[in-house]
Copies of this chain bind each other. A is one copy, B any other.
Amino acid sequence: MNYFSSKFKLGILGGGQLGKMLLTETRKFDIYTCVLDPSAEAPSKIACNEFTQGDLMDYETVVNFGKNVDVLTIEIENVNVNALETLEKQGVKVFPSSKTLKIIQNKATQKLFYVDHNIATAEFARFAYVSEIEDAIDNGGLQLPFVWKAAQFGYDGNGVKVVRSKADLKTLKDGECIAETMIPFKNELAVIVSRNVDGDVKTYPVVEMEFHPEANQVEYVICPARISAAVALKAKETALKVSQAFNHVGLLAVEMFQTQNDEILVNEVAPRPHNSGHHTIESGYTSQFEQHIRAILNLPLGKTDYKVAGVMVNLVGAEGYSGDVHYEHISEIMAMEGVTPHIYGKKQTRPFRKMGHVTIVNEDLNTARQIAEDVKNLIKVISQ
């Protein structure tokens, strides 16, 4: 297949900020792209060749969109997998596969997959309704505190909650869910594994993630992680094992806990470019977005090393502000050394909404980390 010809078409399900960054890379290779997204104002709209407005969860819509492309990928997991299955049977190359997405879409199924494949993960119990959790606590089958996760459609801090008392149960959305043992981890780590169609594999350096305590969103991503070589190796090996278990093509971002005993437990995965890899645009030899394109088009994978240390700060809407967005002090942070803001182009801010990210690169990791803190303290995403 000649990707560098106008006859080839790459389809992307979802036209949000990840899709936009992915499309930026396709411009470099002059690849013809088609995007499906429910919003007429999707950020990807102006960066693709063909834009179709439509529901990603609607079978007919996804099949009709997908049958016109040669390779189909996603920027969001919540798409109609039955449609992907149909397209696969029709000969469309779908990465990640419908099989992988079906497992990942449901957090309970995902956890069972790890157990089946002998991949270490935090202990958990599966429930059909929140009321079952209460019963389990009452009869001693479940101890407080624990981490509640909705089985489906949780993202950006929704669908994940620490439950410390029975009163907390009232705040949970009802439906299928899991209750997971809280891991008193030393670090949260992530490794992005890239694998092309031929099976060539390259892993990105291990990164360290720091979460905002309330919003449950990543606050800093630090590359490379400040961990021992032995722990880094174990994290990479675990991530590779997960990628292999899925027989995954494209990027697989594997989030892990490093326990107090330096065990590595898999938390969850994302089968696509991921927040933990945004820093690679500035810090890496090959950005995660370019690598995803290389992988799903079965091109040789790029070098995954870092050129310089990188720290990423998410730009989230400040508490107490909703409305037309204003980026206060953005000019000041751009005056700091090695600072690049990425604005996603959402017109409205609201508390904790992901509005962009900022990457800070430096030859010295500690300097980058310090500047990142200065950036975080200075910039404010507020309303006008």
Known: A307-B307, A326-B2, A327-B4. A300 touches B335 (CB 8 A): yes
- The yes or no answer to A334 lying at the interface (CB within 8 A) is yes
Tell me which residues across on chain B come within 8 A of A300, comparing CB atoms.
331-332, 334-335
Tell me which residues across on chain B come within 8 A of A100, comparing CB atoms.
none
Interface residues of A (CB under 8 A from B): 2, 4-6, 20, 24, 27-30, 46-49, 282, 285-286, 290, 294, 299-300, 302-303, 307-308, 326-327, 330-332, 334-335, 337-345, 347, 361
Contact of A27 (CB < 8 Å), options: B28, B47, B294, B307: B47
Tell me which residues across on chain B come within 8 A of A28, comparing CB atoms.
340-343
Contact of A338 (CB < 8 Å), options: B285, B331, B334, B343: B285
Residue of B nearest to A294 (CB): B334
Tell me which residues across on chain B come within 8 A of A347, comparing CB atoms.
6
Tell me which residues across on chain B come within 8 A of A20, comparing CB atoms.
27
| A299–B337 touching, CB < 8 Å | no
A371–chain B nearest beta-carbon distance, Å: 11
> Copies of this chain, how many?
2
Contact of A303 (CB < 8 Å), options: B27, B330, B338, B343: B338
Kindly state the separation between the CA atoms of A307 and B281 in the bound complex, as whole angstroms. 13
Kindly state the separation between the CA atoms of A49 and B47 in the bound complex, as whole angstroms. 9
A339–chain B nearest beta-carbon distance, Å: 8
A128–chain B nearest beta-carbon distance, Å: 43
| A331–B299 touching, CB < 8 Å | yes
A155–chain B nearest beta-carbon distance, Å: 22
| B30–A343 touching, CB < 8 Å | yes
A196–chain B nearest beta-carbon distance, Å: 11
Tell me which residues across on chain B come within 8 A of A344, comparing CB atoms.
30
Contact of A24 (CB < 8 Å), options: B24, B334, B343: B24
| A4–B343 touching, CB < 8 Å | yes
Residue of B nearest to A384 (CB): B5
Tell me which residues across on chain B come within 8 A of A335, comparing CB atoms.
300
A195–chain B nearest beta-carbon distance, Å: 15
Kindly state the separation between the CA atoms of A186 and B290 in the bound complex, as whole angstroms. 38
| A337–B303 touching, CB < 8 Å | yes
| B46–A299 touching, CB < 8 Å | no
Contact of A345 (CB < 8 Å), options: B30, B302, B345: B30
| A334–B4 touching, CB < 8 Å | no
Tell me which residues across on chain B come within 8 A of A302, comparing CB atoms.
334, 339-340
In the assembled complex, 23 residue pairs joining A and B whose CB atoms fall closer than 8 Å, in A order, are A4-B326, A5-B326, A6-B347, A20-B27, A24-B27, A27-B47, A28-B340, A28-B341, A28-B343, A30-B343, A30-B344, A30-B345, A46-B46, A46-B47, A46-B49, A47-B47, A290-B340, A299-B331, A300-B331, A300-B334, A302-B339, A307-B308, A307-B361
Residue of B nearest to A200 (CB): B335
A74–chain B nearest beta-carbon distance, Å: 20
Q: Give me the 9 closest cross-chain CB pairs, A-B, nearest first.
A: A300-B335, A30-B345, A30-B343, A307-B307, A300-B334, A307-B308, A4-B327, A28-B342, A299-B334
Kindly state the separation between the CA atoms of A40 and B380 in the bound complex, as whole angstroms. 41
Residue of B nearest to A282 (CB): B285
A311–chain B nearest beta-carbon distance, Å: 14
**Given A300-B331, A302-B334, list of 9 further CB < 8 A pairs?**
A2-B326, A4-B327, A28-B342, A30-B343, A282-B285, A285-B338, A290-B340, A300-B335, A307-B307
Tell me which residues across on chain B come within 8 A of A345, comparing CB atoms.
30
Tell me which residues across on chain B come within 8 A of A338, comparing CB atoms.
285, 303
